[in-house]
Amino acid sequence: MTQQIHELIDKRWSPRAFSNQSIDEEKIEKLFQAASYAASCFNEQPWRFVYATKDYPERYDQLFSCLGEFNQMWVKTAPMIILTVVSKKFGRNQNPNDHARHDLGLAIGNMSLQALSMDLYMHQMAGFSTEKAREVFDIPEDFEPVTMIAVGYLGDPDQLPDSMKEMESPTRDRKNLAQLLFDGDWEKMR
Ligand SMILES: Cc1cc2nc3c(=O)[nH]c(=O)nc-3n(C[C@H](O)[C@H](O)[C@H](O)COP(=O)(O)O)c2cc1C
């Protein structure tokens, strides 16, 4: 039996069709504030963000230019793009922070749920060039670009190419819990 989970977690999915409705500044601030409330190893808060809305076309285009070809086909409808970056070392002793990407994930989890509470949706992406991002934004060695995210309100799937239209659905394809929870047999967990 599938248990009922929190409605915001249940509601979350990653759309590709966004409406052209812009996002209020105040809501954008709430997204980043929610991210900043995440737990992190030694409270390092290693997450950093480069973002732009279409109101700032120069930066929006810079971000857009870092995306791979597939993602560029649909992200163009999104009113806001974020590049996520982590600081790789602990500020207090310059030791490597092996949990920086973990902590960024927590921050993005917070952000996704805050977004949904305001009817905004996020679509995270690995399909972008980290080298290009480094070059375009002059990112120093001790910072690492991790993902990009399209953010916006749900749009009309008919604006997507046919192949993507079929994928545009909140249906969840998930492993069942028996595959995730250890009961002595790692083979069942592959
Ligand atoms: C780190 C990460 C990278 C992803 N990269 C891409 C991507 O480059 N392009 C894309 O269309 N979707 C990408 N996705 C979206 C996933 O395919 C999607 O989250 C997954 O299929 C589960 O669907 P759901 O988010 O709708 O539940 C990525 C998601 C994550 C978390």
Q: Which atom of ligand 1 is nearest to the CA of 16?
A: 11
Look over the chain and give the mean of its residue pLDDT values, rounded to a whole number. 96
Cα of 14 from ligand 1 centre, angstroms: 7
pLDDT band of residue 1 (cuts 50, 70, 90) is low
Q: Is the CB of 167 under 6 A from ligand 1?
A: no
176 alpha carbon, distance to own chain's centre? 24
Q: What tens digit of pLDDT does each residue of 164-188 get?
A: 998 998 888 999 999 999 999 999 9
Residue with the smallest CA separation from ligand 1 atom 15 is 124
Helix (H, G, I), strand (E, B) or coil at 114: helix
For the chain, the structural domain boundaries read 13-189
| Average pLDDT, integer, range 29-45 | 98
- Are 148 and 66 in contact by the 8 Å Cβ rule? The answer is yes
CATH class label, 13-189: alpha beta
Cα–Cα dist 52/127, whole Å: 18
Q: How far apart are CA 82 and CA 85, in angstroms?
A: 10
